[in-house]
Structure 1
Amino acid sequence: MRHSEKHKSHRTGWLRAAVLGANDGIVSTASLVLGVAATGSGTKAILIAGVASLVAGAMSMAAGEYVSVSTQADTEKADLAREKTELADDPVQEHAELTALYVKRGLDENLALDVASQLMAHDALAAHGRDELGISDTLAAKPVQAAFASAATFAAGAFLPLLVVFLLPASALMWYVAGSSLFFLALLGLVAARAGGSSLLASAMRVTFWGALAMALTAGVGALFGVAA
């Protein structure tokens, strides 16, 4: 009987970047819109600020993700290069290290020796990268993928509160932008949880809470300075 298992860990790289991008897009743009609206500004000023936030935020997310994940990728490459040198200089010691890892994970010594020998004969660097360093093709850092996912999802997230601004008059923006953004955040949490196989309720509550806090604080600052002006 064929048994198929569907795991989610291969999605962690792009899923993390995508959720972070969309969440930041909604929260930062909605918060900015609410802050500007709270000062009494008109729709045109709010839209200009929102569009500027979308463009700047998307580029910032792309650059930040690319630099961050590139640093991780460089570290992984350096570790693999060091491991490759160690394999060339002292393969016996490296074999012993791999064997000890398998013994520690529950294999008896003879079986661990056999497994280490076979894996090193097949691809010694891949075996040590995966089992000693925790580096694999599935979880390896992918800077371009992360940057694109963050920028695209930030723009998509930021577009949602801007659409509300475009469709509604300035006098109705505060509650509609806040309410729709919280709805979008909850929906994002549900989609992310579904894609990652985690708790739907916990994910939705987490992103909604922090989004609501950010919007409330920004609106409060906008109202304070708007009154002061």
Structure 2
Amino acid sequence: MFGRSHKEKHYSHRAGWLRAAVLGANDGIISTACLLLGVAAAQATHEALLTAGIAALVAGAMSMAAGEYVSVSSQADAEHSDLIIEREELRTQPDAELRELTGIYINRGVSPDLAYQVARQLTAHDALRAHARDELGIYDSGMARPFQAAVTSAITFSSGAALPLITALVVPGAWLIPALALTSLLFLLILGSLAAAAGGAPIQRAALRVGVWGAAAMAITAAIGHLFGTVV
């Protein structure tokens, strides 16, 4: 009955780095492609276009890294504070905490006697981890990791931003705008598909979602760039 167990494939442990990676790459592609399309539509020179694209890549990567680090650090601080409070309550009110943990399992459908036994055993094994998981919803696999999120976002943003920038570098000016739009849309569809596959989600829906929003962003930016270039 308790012999060799079968292994199941789960995806939730990837949530932290996958969110940062997809957000970084998606933002890199869309923001850089939109900027390049807007500048190109405003009739800027090729040198100015490439300068703007490189500046967007560097600034965006640093902004993503800083933003992720600050936001995830705030989450980590909140988790740390909750764990400090919980540790103190376990030290000063162990009986009350045991009853609280028992009540959690009862509310989940476990019989009172069994819930009490489970709570006692988990408390004896690792009381703080049991309360962190079942009372606070803090899991080891999902805990905030600011540095990991910052590095992942910076790298993936740079990778995403490099794709439309390379297109702008190699495609002649006459074909630049349609080439930028089509290749960037293709990159977004591929990214959405890969992210869906990594997260175990439906691929077509994810690709369509990111493609539609990316196409809308590029169209609006190109139109504004064209209008600005005409007026100036």
Pairwise TM-score range, normalised by the shorter structure: over 0.9
Q: Distance in 2 between matches of 1:147 and 1:47?
A: 26
Q: TM-score, normalised by structure 1?
A: 0.99
Instruction: Tell me the secondary structure at the aligned position of residue 140 of structure 2.
Output: coil
Aligned position for 1:197: 200
Does residue 58 of structure 1 match 2:47?
A: no
Aligned position for 1:47: 50
Aligned position for 1:224: 227
- TM-superposition CA deviations, 1:149-186 (whole Å, max 9, x none): 10000000000001011101122110000000000000
> Once superposed, what is the RMSD of the aligned Cα atoms?
0.7
Does residue 110 of structure 1 match 2:98?
A: no
Stretches of structure 1 lacking an aligned partner (at least 5 in a row)? none
Instruction: Tell me the secondary structure at the aligned position of residue 142 of structure 2.
Output: coil
Aligned position for 2:86: 83
Q: Distance in 1 between matches of 2:32 and 2:174?
A: 18
Paired AA for residue 24 in structure 1: D
Aligned position for 2:99: 96
Query: Does the 8 Å CA contact 1:61/1:150 hold for their aligned counterparts?
Result: yes
Q: Structure 1 stretches (4+) deviating beyond 6 angstroms?
A: none
**1:6 Cα deviation after fit:** 1.0
Does residue 156 of structure 1 match 2:137?
A: no
**1:2 Cα deviation after fit:** 4.5
Aligned position for 2:182: 179
Q: Distance in 2 between matches of 1:141 and 1:183?
A: 32
Aligned position for 1:3: 6
The structure-2 alpha-carbon separation of the partners of 1:225 and 1:205, relative to structure 1 and needing over 3 Å to count, comes to same
Aligned position for 1:27: 30
Aligned position for 1:120: 123
Aligned length: 229
Q: Distance in 2 between matches of 1:214 and 1:87?
A: 51
Q: Distance in 2 between matches of 1:154 and 1:61?
A: 7
- Range with greater deviation from structure 2 (95-104 or 39-48): 39-48
Query: Does the 8 Å CA contact 1:194/1:200 hold for their aligned counterparts?
Result: yes
Instruction: Tell me the secondary structure at the aligned position of residue 138 of structure 1.
Output: helix
Identity %, equivalent residues: 58
Stretches of structure 2 lacking an aligned partner (at least 5 in a row)? none
Paired AA for residue 223 in structure 1: H
Paired AA for residue 175 in structure 1: P
Q: Distance in 2 between matches of 1:4 and 1:93?
A: 37
Q: Distance in 2 between matches of 1:183 and 1:27?
A: 11
- TM-superposition CA deviations, 1:59-95 (whole Å, max 9, x none): 0000000000000000000000000011111100000
Q: Distance in 2 between matches of 1:29 and 1:150?
A: 15
**1:42 Cα deviation after fit:** 1.8
Paired AA for residue 212 in structure 2: F
Aligned position for 1:130: 133
